[in-house]
Structure 1
Amino acid sequence: MPSTALPIALSALLGMSLAAGAPAHAGEPVWTSALPNARPACLSAIHVYVRPGSGEAVEYLRAEAIEDGCPSPAPADSSTPDPALPREARPVDRDLQRGAWVWRSEFWQQDPEAFIASALTQGLDHVFISVPIVEGEVEAAPALERLIATAHARGIRVSAVEGDPEMVTAAGLQFAQNRALALRQYNLDHAEMPLDGLQYDIEPYLLPDYALAPEEMLEQWAQSVIALGETYGANVDIVIPFWLPLVPGGPEALAAVRERAARLTVMAYRTAPASILTAAQPALAWGEAHDLPVVIALETGPLEDEYLQVYRPAPSGQLQISRSGPVQEVHLLADAVSGTIAEPAFRYSHTVTAPASRVSFGGDLPALYRALDEVEPGLNGYDSYAGVAIHGLVQLADPALIRNER
């Protein structure tokens, strides 16, 4: 669901009264969010993520169901090992990817040599770049050729990265296929120095309609990935959220794209080593079972702190689950209402800070590498583990700030 800013006093953010945000018509929800696939009888809590908006408003972001009141459902794909089963940590004695994304093409177009020098300074051997395409052709093709030649001479691979949630729609897919054709033609025209690959970071769950039919949209995502790989003429690198192997429709979507996948890159955006490992395990187990390499992505970009409101099951409360047609929703109300079996209620319990530092290293590469040193033997316990990708390349970084303080 898209975020919604509401004129609620900041005290409501910290768990005080919701009365200041009462809608014009009594009984109407202050805020509504989809809560797909949750089993109400199994919920121990509902988490509502919020952050301060403009003035005294707060912005409601999303709701998350916490299920620990029922046994975990059997995995949809029984061939995938249980990620909860421990793997023995193994020392890292093999070459593993050290990659990074670069979404701004001017970084590499203006000075390819400086760009590659910066990547080397940061210990990278693979960069994923945004390639400008105009009227069906790669723009600045000479600069791209120069970048690839410089990178290959220094042992660095260069892949293009494409991504937009709209790629799961008919119009968005057509647009993306036209771009894939342009990249394919570039490779044909530069057969001695082609791109090393193409990666897709589509993220359909960011679309408002995803909550209405998540399994159907994951199926569309798989169909789009397959079509794009066929258009490009080669298998593609696929970016996924860490939770995809665990949700209904996720294993099926992954199985569908398996034959078009060169590797999976998993957004395990956490900073604590134990949390990184926990987030990465389901995809690593899936990749191990399906003989597909898995790269673990870590975030370094700037993010804002969020606040997490915790609501517990109760006879009455300000949060209530309801179902409208096929969509299960959670409603936040100004006043407490009584729950029923069909529409259970949840009462506000407390608010905690969800700091951005638990998700992003905030540009602190020494901290990222220290965390990686600690967690990588655990990641390497999976045969599928193929290295890391950093979300955000720091330009012209000082080597002492990156490698020598570990």
Structure 2
Amino acid sequence: MLDRHAIPNFRRLLAFDAAAETNSLSRAAQMLRLSQPALTHSIAQLEAELGERLFERSPEGAFLNEAGRVFHRRSTRFFEQIRRALAVAGGRGVGAATVDLRISKLATAQVRGLLAIWRAGSFRAAARDLGIAAASLQRPARDIEQIVGVPLYRRSALGLTVNETGAELARRLALAVGEIRSGAEEIGAASQARASLRVGVLALAPRVLLARASGAVLTEGGLQRIEVVEGPYAQIASDLNDGALDLVFGALRAPPPFADLVEEPLFEDPYAIACRHGHPLTQSRVVKPSALARFDWLHPTAGLPRRDVLDELTEAWGLAAKVQFETTCLTTITALLASSDRLSILSRWHIDLDGRLARVNLPPIPHARRDVGLTFRRNWLPTPFQAQFMEGLRKEAKAIAA
């Protein structure tokens, strides 16, 4: 269950949730129209899967223990996400009773199939990823479409894939599934990934802060795991919105590109002109912009925010408009700066934290305010491990800002 793409068993979660709400196995069984032995068996299977007992049973009823209360918080959020997903997919005319009826009909195989098609891009690719024949995927895929009551698929150049409604339903279902994974981690379900975090990191984010915050929460021989994913902002933000990432650290866009994302500024990190230590321009206490025209430039790739700023400076300062070298690779830019007299534009803290680079002593570069911070989903509930990491990152950012 702790695998990021594993799908929890809906029947077991419904049984657990009903028993948690009623404090009675018999009343929960009646609510779900199951026999009490069948409901008890479903809960026992869930407890076995998690490796933890969730209830204390007595003649007065079945009551959640501490692990059960923690897991119930996540299962409640799971079903809230499912309800929102089905309500959005079904349109305005869908009432709460209809949504609950549809939830009762959902099966694990149906959700697994829809998510696989969404992630893979087509029925054929999804079947290959699941290790089944494409024909075997047709039934669960069509069943969930009938349950939701609206078309979820369309024809494309790659074959049959999800349409806009299907993609949004799949995204919301993926976020719901993440709640169960987080709940399993919180109660310490046996796994080498017991406490996990996936962080998206943008190009100029100060890596030293990430390293310090990670070192503070990772214990020697512990079961914690932090995975850092680097990439362009558009992809990182999309992965965060889809639930593939838990958190993003780096420059904020204000506002973010998706309505479900929120930003938390940590410190300002404006752009500056970068060069190597010992560069001729570092010999002057104050450098005039006209002096920059004597040197070649390393350009960020067109479309990046700092490239837009550099293009504006090129025109304002009368610099040569020629572009001899451009790249998205920050490591390459840094290496070339350190080994030549070329110039480039980087963030202030990136320059200061790299021992090979220096800032050209210019007045502040005119550009829109640039804050570094955290981006996360609006209704995200971090696990204790994730919250501890965030607090450590905030602490390190506060120190560097001071």
TM range (shorter): under 0.3
Q: Which has the higher contact order (CA 8 A, sep 6+)?
A: 1
In the superposition, the TM-score normalised over structure 2's length comes to 0.25
TM-score by length of 1: 0.25
The structure having more radius of gyration, on CA atoms, is 2
Greater strand share, structure number: 1
Q: Say which structure is richer in helix.
A: 2
